[in-house]
């Protein structure tokens, strides 16, 4: 089982903690008190330019959705 997500580190008493998203805990049937193996790494910064290009592409696809569907059916 692998849950891969970016989570914020929170302070719990004098310790630090990372939460598991509820939907992932339910999907993998993770219970409180259960032991899990944890791997820690910092997220790789996204390329801002690439993110902008993807956002523009999504907007174009949404704007021209009907035309694109018609083309795909030819």
Query: For 21-32, how does the pLDDT look when each residue is reduced to its tens digit (9 = 90+)?
Result: 899 999 999 999
Q: What is the pLDDT of residues 32-42, one digit of tens each?
A: 999 999 888 88
| Helix intervals (H) in the chain | 22-27, 48-63, 65-72
Q: Which parts of the chain register pLDDT below 50?
A: none
Q: At what angle do helices 48-63 and 65-72 cross, to 10 degrees?
A: 80
User: What was the pLDDT predicted at 11?
Assistant: 96
User: What was the pLDDT predicted at 62?
Assistant: 93
What letters, b where the CB count within 10 A reaches 16 and e where it falls short, cover 44-61?
eeeeeeeeeeeeeeeeee
Q: Report which DSSP code applies to 34.
A: -
User: What was the pLDDT predicted at 64?
Assistant: 94
């Amino acid at each position: 089982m692998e849950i891969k997500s970016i989570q914020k580190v929170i302070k719990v008493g004098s310790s630090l903690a990372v939460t598991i998203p509820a939907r992932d805990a339910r999907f993998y049937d993770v219970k409180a008190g259960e032991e899990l193996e944890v791997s820690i790494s910092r997220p790789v910064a996204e390329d801002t330019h690439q993110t902008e290009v993807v956002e523009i592409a999504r907007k174009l696809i949404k704007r021209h959705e009907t035309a694109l569907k018609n083309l795909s059916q030819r």
